[in-house]
Structure 1
């Protein structure tokens, strides 16, 4: 009986000493967390998509609070929450934010099944990353979409799907949050975040093929051949041609669409513009005005 009592006393003493040590350590080595971090984290959408550049919303909240303490949160943006969420965060932290242009994911490839027929059959792991690591893929174009849907799997918002007829991914503008997950998932970099534009209108080169014109045309009927006609036609200096490929700077583009008209390969796409009026209608309007 004495042994049991001694054992209880010893174990109790050890437990008490351990509790005291843990309490002292917790107070001595406690890490203070600004309560504003939790408040900001509650405002953020909680998608943890990484579109802001941080591992999750918690990292973004911490960065926002630190930015507020340093005097500015410019450059920090939650693409999922958008302007509304960032406005709430700014109010919470007593900061002002610059109004950023809304963006949307754009698929810069027009290599449909018709424009870019298959010349081989891939029998390995059905992912874009795996197929790209093995070579050019199933077509002659070593730059275009591989069609395995890595971008679809990466999207947490059901905003991108493969079109079974064209074999290309298509973005639902209403669902896209510009988080950038699809751009990171694409091993060939054909998906780009671009300014959404007024009324969703934008103009871009739907090709990333850097081969010379003759080689590019053999691989895809709609490939950019780097002829430079669009660059010469643009009155705003928004288009540059480098490495046999044209690129439109959306910060300079004024949506005049002159480049679309002169492109001999229809590689430049204009999105969400009204359909052009028939020639007869235009003539009638001019006659009426006269």
Structure 2
């Protein structure tokens, strides 16, 4: 058999094998095909398509499938969609929408370029990568590393990097989906109820002098805010002040004396 005849035979065999398996797969697909409930597509269509996973499912399609087919899955799990989407999903699925509290991202750091640098980092411009090198280049090992990983992770373009080297939250665009919080290796991004009045923009648990040396804007754990809060909404936990937004809301606080008393400005408006 000549080389040409051999080549032709190989091609014929390959085409035949490919056609055979193509027919087998087509028959299998037809046999096992399951028609999707059209309601799933309707529910998915009203979702914001951020694919953020805040609902607890792997994307909008999976949540739509679950909320339609599982009676125990609530229609108000789409955080970016807020109450409006919850109402639409509830109407489509015949479920009770329940209550939905709007949420916003808050930056737990005011260090940025003001924080002292302990080393020079010249690697990949990514927060997780920078943290692998001795915990990052900043003297404060709790604060924002400033490489913008949270900004790139936000599916709603609600974050940008400010001139001070810190993320800036666009409260109008922020949906509180939590993607930035999940991405930040420092735990600097916090998701708070939109009704929250004040929050500590710091994560440092270092003692006062050490914290101040690393960053002039750090919480010193001095307790002034706690002693001046008339509602008991602030506690000191490991040299760091912590505000309970639920206590603030329940008390209907309007005076915000904690903001005025903080010597470093570590306590800020929760939604600025």
On whether the aligned pair clears a TM of 0.5, the verdict is yes
2:96 corresponding residue in structure 1? 96
Mapping 1:1-290, distance limit 5 Å: 23=27, 29-31=32-34, 33-67=36-70, 69-70=71-72, 73=74, 76-114=76-114, 116-164=115-163, 166-197=164-195, 202-254=197-249, 255-256=253-254, 257-270=256-269
Deviation at 1:120, TM superposition (A): 2.2
Distance between the aligned counterparts of 1:20 and 1:140, measured in 2?
A: 63
Deviation at 1:118, TM superposition (A): 2.4
CA contact (8 A) 1:41 1:58 kept: yes
Deviation at 1:235, TM superposition (A): 2.8
SS of residue in 1 equivalent to 2:113: coil
Deviation at 1:38, TM superposition (A): 1.9
After superposition, give the CA deviation of every residue in 1:159-186 in whole Å (9 maximum; x if it has no partner).
Answer: 111112x111101111111121111111
CA separation of 1:34/1:272 partners in 2, compared to 1, >3 Å: closer, same or farther?
closer
CA contact (8 A) 2:87 2:97 kept: yes
CA contact (8 A) 1:217 1:223 kept: yes
CA contact (8 A) 1:135 1:142 kept: no
CA separation of 1:28/1:135 partners in 2, compared to 1, >3 Å: closer, same or farther?
same
Unaligned 5+ residue runs, structure 2? 1-18
CA contact (8 A) 2:104 2:271 kept: no
Q: How many residues align?
A: 251
> Greater Rg, structure 1 or structure 2?
1
Distance between the aligned counterparts of 1:259 and 1:161, measured in 2?
A: 28
Q: TM-score, normalization: structure 1?
A: 0.77
SS of residue in 2 equivalent to 1:253: helix
CA separation of 1:39/1:222 partners in 2, compared to 1, >3 Å: closer, same or farther?
same
SS of residue in 2 equivalent to 1:176: coil
Q: TM-score, normalization: structure 2?
A: 0.82
RMSD of aligned alpha carbons: 2.7
CA separation of 1:21/1:60 partners in 2, compared to 1, >3 Å: closer, same or farther?
closer
CA separation of 1:229/1:66 partners in 2, compared to 1, >3 Å: closer, same or farther?
farther
